[in-house]
Structure 1
Amino acid sequence: MSFFYRYLKIVSSRRWLSVLLQFAAWAFIFSLPFLLQSSHKNAEPRPNQPQQWQFVLQYAGNLASWIALFYLNGWLLIPRLLNRRQYGRYAFWLATLVLVLFAFNALVFKMLMPTVPTSPYRVVMSLVFFLFPSIFFIAVSTAISFFLEKLRTDRLAKEQENENLKTELLFLRSQVSPHFLFNVLNNMVALARKGSDQLEPSLIKLSSLLRYMLYEAAEEKVSLNKELEYLQSYIDLQTQRFRKALQVNYTVGAIDGQYLLEPMLLIPFVENAFKHSATGQPGASVDIELRAEKSMLHLEVRNQYSPGSGEKDKSSGIGLQNVRRRLSLLYPDEHALLITEDKGWFIVSLTIKLH
């Protein structure tokens, strides 16, 4: 059954293949009596037998009725009646359709074989001969119709899921910008209060960050190099802010190819490290290591923190919750995220398979 479902899924996605297979199937059914008849070629013909052309036309009339029954049932009655649970109306119209087509075949028989004494028209036998193939074609068209309806439902569900995913990703990405801007603007306020000469270069760095967020981050994917430039600008801003109060060690290892990455995927880890670092304490530092080798991105962010020192603000943790969700949506089976705390160190280790 699963093989048949996969087969129909492939055929329904290629209209030309579907038409070709239907034509081949009906051609085979039409030729079947003649293939069977070929095994009796040496049989002695009986007198007053119907002519070959009469037999061909009669069978063609039957086949035309079965084809009409197949498509009218599968493409008209089932979608409009059976799928809407109008079972009584469906049974009535299906029976009416069978009787009308049977009457059509009876008329064809009377027109083609009016003078053949050996072929008198017998209603019961003709009805049986017509009914059993009709039941077969009704069953096949019903099964195919149900399978196609399931394919359509699955496709719509998949499209809806993709739309929901895009909407959720846009929402999650929009959360990054206000959260990040809130922290950076706090940095600018601190520099302005100190009257620092680093305010102007910091504003220039901020403008480059905003340019990236407004234009580059709107893309589905950005190059890893652009994401690293954005990361470098952010780290420069934080280094200017903390100066000697915090040691920043940023190392970019080998990047052995041109990779694409979701924009603003790495910044929450770095942002969190600066936000919750033990600034002002002796030897306080933030260590960031990043490399991309053999289609694998490795990021490790370490920062010292003081457990229980200071009250955690209400916006903390938004970035990590956000990025966890984004990773699960974008790289469901292609990432590994490990967050640990060890002896006053908060350590984030992230691995992503890049494409």
Structure 2
Amino acid sequence: MKVLNNKYGLTTAGIHVLIWSILLLLPYIVSTPANDYKIGPIPGLFFTISGLIHMGIFYSNAFFFYPRLINKWWWYIPTAILLLMASFWLKYHILAYWFPDVLKDVTAYKFIFAPSVGIFVISIIYRRIINKIRYEKVQAQRRTEQLSAELKFLRSQISPHFLFNVLTNLVSLARKKSDQLESSLIMLSDLMRYMLYDTQGKKVPVTKEIGYLQSYIELQKLRFGSEVAINTLIEVEGDYTIEPMLLIPFVENAFKHGLAQINIQLSVKNGRLTFDVTNRFDHENTISKDENSGIGLTNVRTRLDLLYKDRHTLLIREEDHLFHVTLTLMFT
């Protein structure tokens, strides 16, 4: 048996050692010297020797013959028969040499030879279980790699989408020859650093994502000035991590289509995140913009389904020219 150099491999090896030790020493545990350590009609020493033979059957079949020959049944079946016959031959000659009296008891034969067949069947079942576990591990690893690749693709989509909107804002400031252009560029630099470096891992601290969100809101305030009333309320309790750039598409959408007033509320308490964004909108103007819009909301829906399946709710409502988004997400 190949012992893997990891916790799982060592645990498996320990279980094998424990089981076989109990089987080999069983006569000396349950019987006495006065009874020649017998278990039924079988002498203790022969029981232990048979255990060693059974080990040979188990490991040779489970780790050598079955994996290599199972798809070549015309080889495997004769090999299996030879393996069992060899064990019968070996047991018989050991009995004939050391324990000839046992051979005189025909009723004991089923306790002598049948275990070889039983161990052989168990080795096949064990091998199939191991194969299934390994297959499921490989499939799980492939799903994880596929999920990682898909998330990277989605993140790579959101970055240019976001930058396009921010650069549009900066162009607006440049046309106005605003004194705030320099500070806006510095803020944009910080945002780009976040996107390029801080979001490469799987998740980021919620506080960092909120800082990113607040910087984006400040950029928008510089662009719109007093034209749009922007109300924000953020409350955070506890340390949690979140998929990066998950919240920004909702805010982008509000600024893209919003009129007069935008309300943004974010609460993180007791392992639950509640994000609420409300903005007024003009339906005809929204349709025109949606024809050329990016992949923001579609993207975030997909990422939510991938990472927080059954752990989030996303409600999007439109009524009386009011666009209302509520995201509830459970961290644990």
Scaled to the shorter chain, the TM-score interval is 0.7 to 0.9
Query: Is residue 102–residue 127 contact of structure 1 (8 Å, CA) maintained in 2?
Result: no
Aligned residues with identical type, % of pairs: 38
Q: Please give the TM-score of this superposition, normalised by the length of structure 2.
A: 0.86
For residues 87-146 of structure 1, give each alpha carbon's deviation from its aligned partner in whole angstroms, at most 9, with x where no partner exists.
Answer: 221111111112223333344344436xx6x56689x98976554111111111111111
d(CA) in 2 for partners of 1:211, 1:292: 25
For residues 39-50 of structure 1, the aligned pairs below 5 Å read 41=35
Q: Which stretches in structure 2 are left out of the alignment for 5+ residues?
A: 1-5, 37-41
Aligned match of 1:71 in 41, 56, 59? 59
Query: Is residue 24–residue 52 contact of structure 2 (8 Å, CA) maintained in 1?
Result: no
Q: Which residue of 2 aligns with 1:18?
A: 12
Q: Which residue of 2 aligns with 1:301?
A: 277
Query: Is residue 247–residue 285 contact of structure 1 (8 Å, CA) maintained in 2?
Result: yes
Q: Which residue of 2 aligns with 1:101?
A: 87
Q: Which residue of 1 aligns with 2:324?
A: 347
2:174 matched to 1:192?
yes
Q: Which stretches in structure 1 are left out of the alignment for 5+ residues?
A: 1-11, 46-53, 279-283
Aligned match of 1:165 in 121, 129, 147? 147
d(CA) in 2 for partners of 1:63, 1:240: 82
Q: Which structure has the greater CA radius of gyration? A: 1
Change in CA separation of 1:219 and 1:58 when aligned onto 2, cut-off 3 Å: closer
**Residue 340 of structure 1 aligns to a residue in which SS?**
strand
2:69 matched to 1:81?
yes
Quote the offset at 1:32 in angstroms. 4.9
Quote the offset at 1:267 in angstroms. 0.5
Q: Which residue of 1 aligns with 2:313?
A: 336
Quote the offset at 1:300 in angstroms. 0.8
Change in CA separation of 1:233 and 1:301 when aligned onto 2, cut-off 3 Å: same
Quote the offset at 1:333 in angstroms. 2.3
CA RMSD of aligned residues (A): 2.9
Task: Name the aligned partner's letter for residue 166 of structure 1.
Answer: S
d(CA) in 2 for partners of 1:230, 1:20: 50
Q: Between 304-313 and 344-353, report the one with greater CA deviation.
A: 304-313
Q: Which residue of 1 aligns with 2:50?
A: 62
Task: Name the aligned partner's letter for residue 244 of structure 2.
Answer: P
d(CA) in 2 for partners of 1:315, 1:78: 60
Aligned match of 1:243 in 218, 225, 248? 225
Alignment coverage as a number of residue pairs: 321
d(CA) in 2 for partners of 1:196, 1:184: 15
For residues 176-255 of structure 1, the aligned pairs below 5 Å read 176-252=158-234, 254-255=235-236
Query: Is residue 27–residue 44 contact of structure 2 (8 Å, CA) maintained in 1?
Result: no
**Residue 233 of structure 2 aligns to a residue in which SS?**
strand
